[in-house]
């Protein structure tokens, strides 16, 4: 069965970086993309970006350009999302999701809480 298992909760200080992992299993990793979505406390879903696990192509949300980097390691079927220069408003649950194409996010990770606080 398809599973996406994310790394554990993180607490970071403003200005620091965080790297969240998303390990995939139960399907051919390189046949799909991975999207990252975050949700601030009490708020809606926010699309952060997408990476092709096939060739590493990326497409990032305009507001995060320059601060976010998405990568994959095909040898371990793991996707990573790194966010730099953290601010308090980056406090959120971060989700990875398998993307079949065009917006079909059919399987989601369990979410990773990132708290940014001094």
Enumerate binding residues for other proteins (CB under 8 A): 35, 37, 44-47, 50, 59, 61-62, 95, 97, 102-106, 108-111
Taking the complex as a whole, the smallest distance from the CB of residue 4 to other proteins amounts, in Å, to 9
Q: Which is nearer to other proteins, 60 or 80 (CB)?
A: 60
Helix (H, G, I), strand (E, B) or coil at 84: coil
Taking the complex as a whole, the smallest distance from the CB of residue 104 to other proteins amounts, in Å, to 5
Q: How far apart are CA 3 and CA 94, in angstroms?
A: 16
Measured in degrees and rounded to the nearest 5, phi and psi for residue 63 equal -70, -15
Taking the complex as a whole, the smallest distance from the CB of residue 15 to other proteins amounts, in Å, to 26
The terminus-to-terminus CA distance of the chain in angstroms comes to 40
């Amino acid at each position: 069965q398809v599973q996406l298992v994310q790394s554990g909760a993180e607490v970071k200080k403003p200005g620091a970086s965080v790297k969240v992992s998303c390990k995939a299993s139960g399907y051919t990793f390189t046949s799909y993309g991975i999207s990252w979505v975050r949700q601030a406390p009490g708020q809606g879903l926010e699309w952060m970006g997408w990476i092709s696990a096939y060739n590493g192509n990326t497409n990032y949300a305009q507001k995060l350009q320059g601060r976010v980097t998405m990568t994959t390691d095909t040898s371990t079927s793991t996707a990573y999302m790194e966010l730099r220069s953290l601010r308090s408003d980056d406090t959120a649950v971060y989700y990875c999701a398998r993307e079949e194409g065009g917006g079909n996010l059919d399987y989601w990770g369990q979410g990773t809480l990132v708290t940014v606080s001094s």
